[in-house]
Amino acid sequence: MNDVQAETASEQDSTRPPSASARPSLASRILVTLAESRPLTLLVLIAVLVIGMSVLYPNNFPTPSNISAVMLNAAQNGILVTGMMLLMIAGVFDLSIGSILALAGVWAGVVVHVWGYPAPAGLLVGLAVGIVAGAFNGFLVTRVGINALIATLGTLAIYRGLTYVTAGTGVTPISDEFKAYGQTVILGFQTPFWIMLAIVGTFAWAIARTAFFRQFYFIGGNARAAKLSGIRVARLTVVGFVIMGLLAGLAGVIGASRLNSAVVSAGISVELSVITAAVLGGASLRGGEGSVIGGVLGVMFIALVQNAMIINSIGIFWQPIVTGSVLLLAVSLDRFKRSRRT
Partner 1 sequence: MTAPPRLAVRSTRKRFPGVQALDDVSLEVRPGEIHALLGENGAGKSTLGKVIGGVYAPDTGEMDLDGTPLRGLDEHMAAGLGIAIVHQEGSLVSQLTVAENVFAGHPITKSFGRVDRAEIRRRTKAIMSDMGVEIDPGAMVYSLSAAQAQIVEIAKGLSHDLRLLILDEPTAALTLTETKRLFVLLRRLKETGVAVIYISHRLAEIFELCDRVTVLKDGRVTGTRDVQHTTMDELIRLMVGREVLFQRGPAPTVGDVILEVDHLVSPPVVEDISFTVRAGELVCLAGLVGSGRSEACEAIFGVHRPASGTIRLKGREVQFGGPWDAIAAGIGMMPEDRKDGGLFLDHSVAQNISATVLHTVSRRGVISKRMTEELADRFIKMLRIATPSPWQTLDNLSGGNQQKVLLAKWLAPEPALLIVDEPTRGVDVGARAEIYRILGDLKARGLAIVVVSSDLPEVLTLADRIIVIAAGRSVGELPGEGATEEDVLRLATRYTRLDAVEKVA
* Chain residues in the site for partner 1 (CB under 8 A): 11, 14-18, 209-212, 214-215, 217-218, 221-222, 224-232, 288-289, 341
Write down the least CB distance from residue 332 to partner 1, Å: 20
Min dist CB 150 to partner 1, Å, is 20
Please, what is the minimum distance in Å from the beta carbon of residue 139 to partner 1?
18
C-beta closer to partner 1: residue 9 or 132: 9
SS3 of 262, please? strand
Nearer to partner 1, 175 or 284 (CB): 284
What minimum distance in Å lies between the beta carbon of 203 and partner 1?
Answer: 14
Q: Residues in the chain, how many? A: 342
Cis peptide before 173 (omega within 30 of 0): yes
Kindly report each contact of residues 214-221 with a partner whose C-beta sits within 8 Å and lies 24 or more positions away, as own/partner.
216/86, 216/89, 216/90, 216/240, 217/89, 217/288, 217/289, 218/288, 219/90, 219/91, 219/287, 220/88, 220/89, 220/90, 220/91, 220/286, 220/287, 220/288, 220/289, 221/287, 221/288
Pick the closer one to partner 1 by CB: 11 or 176: 11
Least spacing, CB of residue 175 vs partner 1, in Å: 39
| Residue 23 vs 224, nearer CB to partner 1 | 224
> How far apart are the C-alpha atoms of 94 and 83, rounded to whole Å?
9
Q: 185: which strand partners?
A: 190
Cβ 278 to partner 1 shortest distance, Å: 18
- Residue with smaller CB distance to partner 1, 29 or 232: 232
Q: Are 253 and 195 in contact (CB under 8 A)?
A: no
DSSP string, 154-194: HHHHHHHHHHHHH-TT-B----HHHHHHHH-EETTEEHHHH
Q: How far is the CB of 337 from partner 1 (least distance, A)?
A: 12
Longest dimension (CA), the chain: 70
